[in-house]
A = this chain, B = another copy of it.
């Protein structure tokens, strides 16, 4: 394995004590997971039914009935299982474990003699299975269930679900593969690839890695499998995307741009990065870097949202980032964080952690209400409720989080990411520990042969001071690498009270030498309010600025600043203030500033007129974290604000 590769420190070795993320983990445990269990059992009043448990019970022969819901319905249960498993790591819970074991019973009973397990085809006709892998999500569901099985095994040591899923994998590898007589196909919705690598990391069985690699390398090869299928099943997707929708128009190593359905893309790229690392495949790693750059340097919102268009829930083209018509699916931002973590494992570069942080602190958790029981599927950066009501082009944009969705991929995805946040904080290799996020936490790792606990304390993201303490039975030699975030212009670092100026490498302050029990690092990052601007190629943001403080993107909401937020201009001298407000939105730093607002009389002087100076009046603006918008009722919101040029 290459020297630069790192490994994410697993959940079992990280205890998150962070007030910020700790709150979300608690929410996952006490609200999201129990609420979603009710949803999966169709017991949430006034919400669309899930049918998940119903389908498994019927497939297990325990209930009469037929398959209900989407073709990928099983995956909602899988993601919930995975999230519940993560929750058990930090908070063992016999009752929850028993619930999961009941589901495993259902899985066991539903599994077919040859290992097949997908309730859609078990209930709709086994003769049709594997006839439409482009659209019918069998491998997608298997991948999610496999991730759940790995997570549950890692959380509890119980291997019953894992064994079920290994049988599923063996069945799949009897159907697909390079050998003669097997189908030369690959998942229509990627996911199984990354799950197979996770399985391989548990089993060490090279067949599991090989199958992941096969799916990745076979994708987009001539003759195109999905075109062959289409000759029987008919075409799937009209319009300009074609097989790009599935990232399947050409081999992944030849793909230059992040194209098509953005969640599919992130899951594929995550699988590619994992395979590249496990196989040391530099060409595949280069493809990952290319697609990473396409995604994050030309096609990503400032919140870490991706997917500019509802059509295909997809990327469009470089720098096309409309703030109101965005898709920006919660799952896609989660996928971006997953991809980023794997890129960090390929090479520890601050750029990857910057994007991971951007997504997690903004565009991921914007999908979740502060109460934990309402969800956004689409995460716009600019909302005018009237426009969403009256303009069909915005029909996909909700201006209020929903209880559940008929296609409910996002809510359980939020459950699994919030309950596994500890997984994103640290990466390590033999000679170094990288601190990627500044969530308060304890990390138990072996460094220089010594079992070490590194504790991070602080009040991130609201304050920029982080204290890291080393606890070890003996001294050891290692590098502690502290990420200096892209948002941070100035910082100071002390080691046991003395200022140090360590070398900076790819965005990390590299502190090496010998470490002793009780050694303390204090990283003090200045966290002023910053005005941000977009690349001038982003047409939608020309003449506008956004406000950030630390990793947090702010927005203006109607409740604080009135209607017609687009009439506001941020003046050159903004006079920013930042203040902790414990009773606001669960406790946030709110920002105040000067603003200029077009006066009413300007609205009354005709539709088109001779250009003249526009009259504006001074107003006070109040900015709140974007992720927390729409927790105080319905109203306008905007991230990008018209601004005087500096």
Report A's interface with B, CB cutoff 8 A: 239-241, 296-298, 300, 302, 308-309, 311-312, 316-317, 320, 325, 386-387, 389-393, 395, 489, 530-539, 542-543, 545-546, 564, 566-567, 598, 602-603, 605-614, 642-643, 645-646
CA A567 to CA B535, docked complex, whole Å:
11
State the Cβ distance, A383 to closest chain B Cβ, in Å. 12
Determine the chain B residues whose CB is within 8 A of the CB of A607 once the complex forms.
Answer: 296-298, 300, 534-535, 538
Q: Which of B390, B530, B605 contacts A316 (CB 8 A)?
A: B390
Quick check: B391 and A643 within 8 Å, CB to CB?
no
Quick check: A536 and B613 within 8 Å, CB to CB?
no
Q: Which of B300, B309, B387, B611 contacts A392 (CB 8 A)?
A: B309
Determine the chain B residues whose CB is within 8 A of the CB of A646 once the complex forms.
Answer: 611-613
Quick check: B390 and A240 within 8 Å, CB to CB?
yes
Say whether, besides A393-B311, A395-B239, A536-B614, A542 and B566 are in contact (CB < 8 Å). Answer: yes
Quick check: B309 and A567 within 8 Å, CB to CB?
no
CA A297 to CA B604, docked complex, whole Å:
10
Residue of A311, A316, A613 most packed against chain B (CB within 10 A): A316
10 new A-B contacts at CB < 8 Å, known A533-B611, A533-B614: A297-B606, A298-B607, A311-B393, A320-B391, A325-B393, A535-B602, A535-B605, A535-B608, A537-B564, A613-B645
Quick check: A317 and B386 within 8 Å, CB to CB?
yes
State the Cβ distance, A58 to closest chain B Cβ, in Å. 33
Determine the chain B residues whose CB is within 8 A of the CB of A545 once the complex forms.
Answer: 611
Determine the chain B residues whose CB is within 8 A of the CB of A325 once the complex forms.
Answer: 393
State the Cβ distance, A303 to closest chain B Cβ, in Å. 10
Determine the chain B residues whose CB is within 8 A of the CB of A302 once the complex forms.
Answer: 608
State the Cβ distance, A577 to closest chain B Cβ, in Å. 18
Residue of A297, A387, A533 most packed against chain B (CB within 10 A): A533
Say whether, besides A317-B386, A537-B564, A240 and B392 are in contact (CB < 8 Å). Answer: yes
Quick check: A387 and B320 within 8 Å, CB to CB?
yes
The 3 closest A-B pairs by CB, nearest first: A311-B392, A531-B611, A543-B543
Determine the chain B residues whose CB is within 8 A of the CB of A542 once the complex forms.
Answer: 543, 566, 642
Quick check: A611 and B532 within 8 Å, CB to CB?
yes
Determine the chain B residues whose CB is within 8 A of the CB of A598 once the complex forms.
Answer: 536
CA A546 to CA B535, docked complex, whole Å:
24
CA A325 to CA B546, docked complex, whole Å:
25
Determine the chain B residues whose CB is within 8 A of the CB of A539 once the complex forms.
Answer: 566
How many copies of the shown chain assemble into the complex? 2
CA A530 to CA B566, docked complex, whole Å:
25
State the Cβ distance, A644 to closest chain B Cβ, in Å. 9
19 contacts between A and B (CB under 8 A): A239-B392, A296-B607, A300-B607, A309-B392, A317-B390, A317-B391, A320-B390, A531-B610, A533-B608, A533-B610, A535-B603, A535-B605, A537-B567, A539-B566, A542-B642, A543-B543, A546-B608, A612-B646, A613-B645
Residue of A302, A489, A608, A612 most packed against chain B (CB within 10 A): A608
CA A239 to CA B391, docked complex, whole Å:
10
Quick check: B392 and A393 within 8 Å, CB to CB?
no
CA A10 to CA B498, docked complex, whole Å:
94
CA A614 to CA B607, docked complex, whole Å:
30
Chain B residue nearest to A539 (CB atoms) is B566
Chain B residue nearest to A610 (CB atoms) is B530
Determine the chain B residues whose CB is within 8 A of the CB of A537 once the complex forms.
Answer: 564, 567, 603
Determine the chain B residues whose CB is within 8 A of the CB of A609 once the complex forms.
Answer: 532-533, 535
Determine the chain B residues whose CB is within 8 A of the CB of A566 once the complex forms.
Answer: 539, 542
Determine the chain B residues whose CB is within 8 A of the CB of A642 once the complex forms.
Answer: 542-543
CA A308 to CA B387, docked complex, whole Å:
12
Chain B residue nearest to A296 (CB atoms) is B607
CA A531 to CA B611, docked complex, whole Å:
5
Q: Which of B391, B534, B546 contacts A309 (CB 8 A)?
A: B391
CA A609 to CA B530, docked complex, whole Å:
10
Determine the chain B residues whose CB is within 8 A of the CB of A535 once the complex forms.
Answer: 602-603, 605-609
Chain B residue nearest to A602 (CB atoms) is B536
State the Cβ distance, A428 to closest chain B Cβ, in Å. 29
Residue of A325, A386, A395, A610 most packed against chain B (CB within 10 A): A610
Quick check: B316 and A534 within 8 Å, CB to CB?
no
Determine the chain B residues whose CB is within 8 A of the CB of A606 once the complex forms.
Answer: 297, 535
Determine the chain B residues whose CB is within 8 A of the CB of A300 once the complex forms.
Answer: 607
CA A392 to CA B535, docked complex, whole Å:
23
State the Cβ distance, A318 to closest chain B Cβ, in Å. 9
CA A489 to CA B536, docked complex, whole Å:
36
Quick check: B392 and A532 within 8 Å, CB to CB?
no
State the Cβ distance, A387 to closest chain B Cβ, in Å. 7
State the Cβ distance, A439 to closest chain B Cβ, in Å. 23
Quick check: A643 and B611 within 8 Å, CB to CB?
yes
Say whether, besides A317-B386, A386-B317, A392-B311, A610 and B489 are in contact (CB < 8 Å). Answer: yes
